[in-house]
């Protein structure tokens, strides 16, 4: 995490991340944590529909295709959409730690334009953990997982309890998620960054 702000630099007593023993296996598709999530949900017609997979250690990979509704300048992805793709991928890391975490800080650097129709290949990993703070980094590439870097981000996620969502979310959506008879879907709705 070179060149990052002090807020994104783990303190000297931070520890190396440890993959939870019940984390999804490397290569396993993580799926949507909530069907209405703009980043990964299938029920968002203009969402990213980002597909993330568990990687080795405490890392994930993801892909999303830039569609016309994601453009800022004519024919190019909006920078905020690219930042969202990195944020969503970084949020997926909490699946491997088996914690609920939200974005506390995200710093994004843009290196190259990303045209509409491009598949953005994102890789994210946890760098360190310090109490409730999770330090992580991500890189987005075009032309394949080994292609040129288009965007990168460093982030600080903060572990929270499910009450964070219950106390702050819109009551109708919270009630609907809590009332879902599928216990796995209900739990997953609150597992990663909203």
pLDDT digits (tens, 9 = 90+) for 92-126: 999 899 888 899 999 999 999 999 999 999 999 99
Write out pLDDT tens, residues 20-64. 998 999 999 987 767 777 777 788 788 888 889 999 999 999 999
pLDDT class for 162, splitting at 50, 70, 90? low
Which is more confidently placed, 134 or 176?
134
Is the pLDDT at 163 greater than 80? The verdict is no
Token pair of 170, please? Answer: 């819109």
Q: How far apart are CA 23 and CA 21, in angstroms?
A: 6
Q: Specify whether the backbone of 31 is left (phi greater than 0), alpha (psi in -120 to 50) or beta.
A: left
pTM for this structure?
Answer: 0.83
User: Considering only 12-16, 44-48, 188-192, which range has the smallest mean pLDDT?
Assistant: 188-192
Task: Tell me how crowded residue 186 is: count the other CB atoms within 10 A of its CB.
Answer: 14
Write out pLDDT tens, residues 130-156. 999 999 999 999 999 999 999 999 999
CB 94 within 8 A of CB 192: yes
Token pair of 51, please? Answer: 């597909």
CB 127 within 8 A of CB 90: no
End-to-end distance of the chain based on CA atoms, in angstroms? 24
CB 19 within 8 A of CB 58: yes
Is the pLDDT at 161 greater than 90? The verdict is no
């Amino acid at each position: 995490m070179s060149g990052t702000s002090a807020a994104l630099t783990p303190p000297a007593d931070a520890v190396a991340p440890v993959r939870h023993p019940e984390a999804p296996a490397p290569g396993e598709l993580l799926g949507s944590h909530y069907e209405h999530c703009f980043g990964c949900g299938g029920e968002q017609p203009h969402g990213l529909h980002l597909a993330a997979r568990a990687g080795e250690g405490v890392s994930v990979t993801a892909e999303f295709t830039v569609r016309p509704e994601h453009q800022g300048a004519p024919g190019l992805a909006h920078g905020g959409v690219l930042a969202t793709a990195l944020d969503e991928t970084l949020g997926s890391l909490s699946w491997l730690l088996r914690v609920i975490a939200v974005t506390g800080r995200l710093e994004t650097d843009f290196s190259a334009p990303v045209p509409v129709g491009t598949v953005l290949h994102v890789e994210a990993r946890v760098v360190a953990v310090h109490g409730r703070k999770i330090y992580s980094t991500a890189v987005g590439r075009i032309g394949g997982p080994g292609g040129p870097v288009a965007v990168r981000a460093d982030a600080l996620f903060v572990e929270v309890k499910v009450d964070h969502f219950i106390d702050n979310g819109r009551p109708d959506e919270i009630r609907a998620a809590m009332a879902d008879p599928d216990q796995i879907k209900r739990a997953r709705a609150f597992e990663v960054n909203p």
